[in-house]
Chain A
Amino acid sequence: MAFTAPKETYPGKVYPVGMGTAEKAVIVGGENVLPFHGFEGEIPGKPLVALEVQDVPPQDWPKAVRDACESVSGDPVSWAKHCQDALGARAIALRLIGTHPDREDRSAEDAVKTVTDVLAAVQVPLVIMGSNHVEKDSQVLVAVAEAAKGRNCLIGKAQEANYKTIAAAAMANDHQLIAMSELDINLSKQLNILITQMGFAKERIVTDPMSSALGYGLEYTYSVMERIRLAALTQNDAVMQPPMLADLGMYVWKIKETTATAEDMPEWGTLPERGIAWEAATAAAFLLAGAELLVMRHPEAVEAVEKFIAEMEV
């Protein structure tokens, strides 16, 4: 019995979504095959990893990852510059966590200043995320979308409860939009439909099906991503064809496995290796499930994932 490779082609493809400007501009998505299946189709871009930077010092991050940015994280501008210049980040994800009413409750004007300063300091594409507070994000993201006009950013996250204002602001200022729903393929599809019904181009959406950490619900995110990608490719379902975001650093860097010291948990091995491996393995699993854009926190985890991505190209 002679072997013939059972290669597959699909009717659908993932939209290529552009971010950033000039020579630093990048494209995520665009492939017409399952993740890393370059042997049977087209993968024009490679997955993009954005290093996370916050508008306030990351006091709530565990030591293993806080240490990695300690010298620069007191100020978002030097932190972002460090990511771009010293670490070679291909993109930066600025999270405006300080605007959350339960945190520093920084105002929309404060956020605008941070975004403007960071944009002035870096050339790589910027993902701009709110604090995930539904009401506050509508104010903050509307203001920063305007301030970032012309830089072709990816902003979000728009959720069911606040997508209208955020999508309108992204549309008016020519940005791309993150649409986030909670770990359910149907909710994800529904939100994309609602957003496109406003006249927002479906080719400018990035889907966030909600992330998780290895060991803490990873299998749900993994399977929701695989199902979304299969729907996009095999059923050619246009609403399911945006590229996917895995915003995973925030889930990884709060669990026991990335926070407990080697003294407390001798059988778990050393930090920071344990935390770095945890974040990088979470990232690798989501890349295999279909994510094209990752938001991560530890520079060494990002370095490992970049090497991994290079090795996945055949």
Chain B
Amino acid sequence: MALTGVQIFKLLPKTNCKKCGYPTCLAFAMKLAQRQASIEDCPDVSEEAKRTLGEEAAPPIRPVTIGMGEKAVTMGEEMVLFRHDKKFFHPTVYAVQIKDTAPEADAAATIDEVLASEMERVGQHLRIDALYLSNESGESAPLEALVKLAAEKAPGFPLIIAATDASVASEALAYVEGSKPLLFGANAENLESMCRLAREKGASLGLVAKSLEEASELTEKAKAHGVEDLVIDPGARKAGEILRDNTLMRRAALKKNFKPLGYPILTPVQRDDEMLETLVATVGVCKYSSIVVLSSVKKWKSLALFALRQNIYTDPQVPMQVEQKVYNIGEPDGAAPLMITTNFSLTYFIVAGEVENSKVPSRLAVMDCEGLSVLTAWAAGKFTATKIAQFIKESGVENEVANKELIIPGYVAILSGALEDKLEGWKITVGPREANAIPAFLKSR
């Protein structure tokens, strides 16, 4: 648990010398508690206090970054168990496995598929974020060739290099020194040599344990060997075990402040049955995996997993909003009906879905009401006659429709008179209150 301002204050010199830039030690302590100041700003603080505060100030799940440049990904720093409490912070990284036993042409093709996986969805760029290059051959040359290929085709792209023999992985890592790969595969047997290699090559280190007990011992040992940027694979393979281990790790880190398990989690979900693999990946995304390793790139699989990650990692406090504009549903001609609603994404999805169900080509004007639903936006003064009139005029939709008729949601029927005054020459029609009545309403016109 984080320290309070008063607890921090007790660790400070209490001289109120102002050298930190704050009028009193207490004021400085309060800022520290809110993580808006750094302990370094007090020149007189004791070493012991610094250490205590440093450990306390560290996030319960350590941030770890892999890759360089704009494709780099950061994991960890999560603060909650349930997404309704606070936004899940760093979205799960999707990594695709390539074995060093695969023919070079196949490996190259997979790398190309990964690089081409990027797509835009609801305003965000989504992609497979990392490559998981695994040393199936047990030899050094094939792994080296594969890493070299990846480094050439995708400089700086996050790489996870999976091997259990440091001497085998050493040559491969030389190709990506300086671009922060994740060396994955340290265990109780090889820990010391893997730590040494990770340190030498500036890689973060992935630990593979057989249990959570072992994982917590391994992280402590790795720290003793000077490696702190760690990722844990607690060894769970069955979907239910993944849920169990991930839940216990996140709880231990957040609720018990148990540092030895406060690291990002890597979850391999590869299955021959790729439909099942997609569902096991769902467990990882919903329940705390920072990296999910997939067996292949399939467009249908990527699309579903991208949408899932986007949903689970949206901020629950900020309603998802849809861009303000007039949307065409079907191919509306000049005589097609024009409806208006607010830009709360759920409102939009439901209304647009019902308009689609009606099979009546239509225009749907979606007005920016800061992501509020119709009634809430109206009550908050954001969905008023004046604002609607302004939006309709500025949208230019006037030039596209033959008859100036605007259909408003039944819940704001009260606005129709005022709207007719403000939108000269327009007819205002009151539509249904509930979206599920839209198909009948449109068809009966």
- The A contact surface, by secondary structure, is helix
Return A63 CB to nearest CB of chain B, in Å. 15
Q: Which chain B residues lie closer than 8 Å to A36 at the CB level?
A: 240, 243
Asked if B10 CB lies within 8 Å of chain A CBs, one says no
**A-B contacts, CB under 8 A, total:** 168
Q: A1-B216, A132-B436, A223-B84 are contacts. A39–B256 as well, Cβ < 8 Å?
A: no
Partner-contacting stretch, out of B22-30, B129-137, B295-303, B402-410: B295-303
Interface residues in A256-312 by Cβ distance below 8 A to B read 257, 267-270, 273-274, 276-278, 280-281, 284-285, 288-289, 300, 304-305, 307-308, 311-312
A214 and B304 contact, CB distance less than 8 A: yes
A254 and B276 contact, CB distance less than 8 A: no
Q: A222-B312, A288-B282, A312-B240 are contacts. A307–B299 as well, Cβ < 8 Å?
A: no
Asked if B49 CB lies within 8 Å of chain A CBs, one says no
Return A62 CB to nearest CB of chain B, in Å. 11
B206-221 vs A, CB cutoff 8 Å, 1 = contact: the mask equals 0000001100100010
Partner-contacting stretch, out of B63-71, B170-178, B195-203, B244-252: B244-252
Q: A5-B212, A311-B276 are contacts. A273–B307 as well, Cβ < 8 Å?
A: no
- The B contact surface, by secondary structure, is helix
A257 and B303 contact, CB distance less than 8 A: yes
A284 and B279 contact, CB distance less than 8 A: yes
Asked if A129 CB lies within 8 Å of chain B CBs, one says no
User: Nearest residue in B to A278 (C-beta to C-beta)?
Assistant: B304
Q: A1-B258, A6-B255 are contacts. A215–B238 as well, Cβ < 8 Å?
A: no
Q: Which chain B residues lie closer than 8 Å to A284 at the CB level?
A: 279, 282-283
Q: A284-B279, A285-B282 are contacts. A314–B248 as well, Cβ < 8 Å?
A: no
Complexed CA–CA distance, A3 and B308 (Å): 32
A269 and B298 contact, CB distance less than 8 A: yes
B301 and A226 contact, CB distance less than 8 A: no
Q: Which chain A residues lie closer than 8 Å to B247 at the CB level?
A: 37
Q: Which chain A residues lie closer than 8 Å to B316 at the CB level?
A: 219, 223
Asked if B74 CB lies within 8 Å of chain A CBs, one says no
Partner-contacting stretch, out of B50-58, B149-157, B161-169, B349-357: B349-357
Q: A3-B260, A223-B316, A305-B279 are contacts. A314–B238 as well, Cβ < 8 Å?
A: yes
Q: Which chain B residues lie closer than 8 Å to A82 at the CB level?
A: none
Interface range on chain A: under 10, 10 to 19, 20 to 34, or 35 or more?
Answer: 35 or more
Return A293 CB to nearest CB of chain B, in Å. 18
Return A289 CB to nearest CB of chain B, in Å. 8
Q: Which of A2, A38, A255, A285 has the most CB of B within 10 A?
A: A285
User: Nearest residue in A to B238 (C-beta to C-beta)?
Assistant: A311
Partner among B273, B305, B346 whose Cβ is within 8 Å of the Cβ of A183: B346
Return A32 CB to nearest CB of chain B, in Å. 16
Given A214-B304, A280-B279, A304-B279, output 7 extra A-B contacts at Cβ < 8 Å: A1-B259, A6-B251, A219-B83, A267-B299, A270-B299, A274-B304, A281-B279
